[in-house]
Structure 1
Amino acid sequence: MSKFLIMISGFIKYKDLLYELVIRDIKIRYRRSVLGLLWTLLNPILMMTVLTIVFSQLFKFEIENFPIYFFAGNIVFTFMTEATTNSLYSIVGNASLIKKVYVPKYLFPVSKVLSSLVNLFFAYIAMMAVMAVTGVSYGSAMLLTPLLIVYLVMFTTGLGLILATVMVFFRDTAHLYSVVTLAWMYLTPIFYPGSLLGEKMGWILTVNPMYHYITYLRTLVLQNQVPGIEANITCFLIGFVFFIVGLYTFYKKQDKFILYV
């Protein structure tokens, strides 16, 4: 609890620095890009278009409202992979700054999550635009999307803190994680129905955190229903456990970062 309170006080004290780090990340990402932030709207739409043509026609999956089904899964998974991958490099990539001045080191991975959250916001707007085009109605249940974001941010922040810590001591983590995220994507029903995995592989969905978060958003968007207590408890516990483990791991090892970055 004390570590959590220290982190919260650090956010308050260094909120301006955190803001500048987030803005810097966004500017660097779209530097020399003609369309800039517009890509956060166009990219998921283009991906949705291609995969809708391929999977809804070629394989003829019986998924109602496939474009939004894919969109909901893709924006959630993309946020997770983008936030955690950027967090992974956050300490190593800021080694020169860490060596010169004192800055709470957790601000770096957290800033990566927050900058990715900006992209998620625009991707969500793009999904709403596609919903209007495809005739999927907006439901009141979508107002609970911020609750899902809270669960998701806890999870990605915790995982990001873990990855940032491991990366300092084991640089091959970056290569391994790229393989993990690729396998993770294919084992998550983003563009195919979960039933495709069958009963023998159904356990993969149970232990897959992203399946629960994606299903939560699809329930809000496609079914206009509020996920049940079990779904909320599951999503919260996954996020909370990862956040606490990530925070503990990061704080336990952060004093040694200076020796390895």
Structure 2
Amino acid sequence: MTTRSYNFLHWRDLLIELVSRDLKIRYQRSAIGLGWSLMKPLSQLLIFATVFTSVIPLEIPNYTTFVFAGVLSWAWFSSSLTSSALSVTGNREMVRRPGFPVHLLPMLTIISNGVHFMLALPLLLICSWIQVGPPGISMLALPAVILVQFLLTLAFATLIAAIHVYFRDIEHLVGIAVMLGFYITPVFYRPLQADHDFAFLTLWNPMAWVLEGYRAIFLDHVWPDPLNYLRILALAVPVLLFAAWFFNRVSARFVDEL
């Protein structure tokens, strides 16, 4: 076995152990445990479905499935970014251990929040089945959509985690950015038309492209537009490469800053 293969297997096992530990700590002494991970998206779904179908109708067909796909995807993205700010500073003991792979910490937050996302996906599938019908062959594209969102999130999370060690206000700035991002991303409303004055909020929003993919699969039962995912990769890959380089460059001084 090569050194690279050994490192990969070691990091994989370490990630699994850390994710398990994180979830156990988070839901320790909780009556329903991981069930709480479904409460927030389900409560948001209930609010949006009630308000925008009965109080202020948006006239969007199969709105429950439409908004559920948006809420789940955005929840994974936003919770991962807000958690990533503390992924290094909140794990001082591990960072100070000689030889600990610090670069895994931002990934840990994304995978931990991704567990909640994966637990809710069957509910989205059931909702889609009831409103639209049984899933089609386009469901085979779901892993690719999830992977692309993971890479996009990891790119920003790695950068945020490294910067926060030196600039502690980044946690609050990310919180504000995530809040604003929720409203300029078509989570609970249709993507803006090209002739709209603020169409750029949809046309140049990578999370809007991600949502289109989930909705194509669960709502329209068609293959996601591959052009959107080439755009996401064209953004995510360079940012991720830069973030990894920057993280590795400054990580040697993390212990001094903590």
Is the TM-score greater than 0.5? yes
Does the C-alpha gap of structure 1 residues 168 and 80 become closer, same or farther in structure 2, counting only changes over 3 Å? same
User: What's the offset of the Cα at 1:9?
Assistant: 6.4
Mapping 1:53-68, distance limit 5 Å: 53-68=50-65
Alignment partners' CA distance in 2, 1:194 and 1:40: 27
2:196 corresponds to 1:221: no
What is residue 91 of structure 1 aligned with on the other side?
A: 88
Unpaired segments of 5 or more residues in structure 2?
none
Which of 102, 122, 126 is the equivalent residue of 2:123?
126
Query: Is 1:175 aligned to 2:172, yes or no?
Result: yes
Q: TM-score, normalised by structure 1?
A: 0.91
Per-residue deviation, 1:115: 1.2
Shift of 1:7: 8.8
From the superposition, tell whether residues 196 and 30 of structure 1 become closer, same or farther in structure 2 (CA, over 3 Å). farther
Partners of 1:131 and 1:137 within 8 A in 2? yes
How far did 1:76 drift? 0.7
Question: Does the CA-based 8 Å contact 1:157-1:246 persist in structure 2?
Answer: no
Report the secondary structure of 2:89's partner residue: helix
Give 2:97's aligned residue: 100
> What is the deviation of 1:184?
0.4
Task: State percent identity of aligned pairs.
Answer: 25
Aligned pair count reads 256
Note if contact 1:157-1:243 (Cα within 8 Å) is conserved in structure 2: yes
Distance 1:162 1:139 in 2: 37
Structure 1: state its 5+ residue gaps. 1-5
Task: Identify which of 121, 140, 145 aligns with 1:143.
Answer: 140
Query: 3-state DSSP class of the match of 1:90?
Result: coil
Distance 1:20 1:14, change over 3 A: same
Structure-1 separation of matches of 2:51 and 2:174: 27
Structure 1 match to 2:151:
154
For residues 160 and 54 of structure 1, do their structure 2 counterparts lie closer, same or farther at Cα, with a shift above 3 Å needed? same
Q: Cα deviations across residues 61-81 of structure 1 (Å, max 9, x unaligned)? A: 021110111011111111011
Q: Shift of the alpha carbon at 1:198? A: 6.4
Contact 1:11 1:18 in 2 (8 A): no
Give 1:56 shift. 1.7
Let me know the Cα RMSD of the aligned residues. Answer: 2.0
TM-score in terms of structure 2 length: 0.92
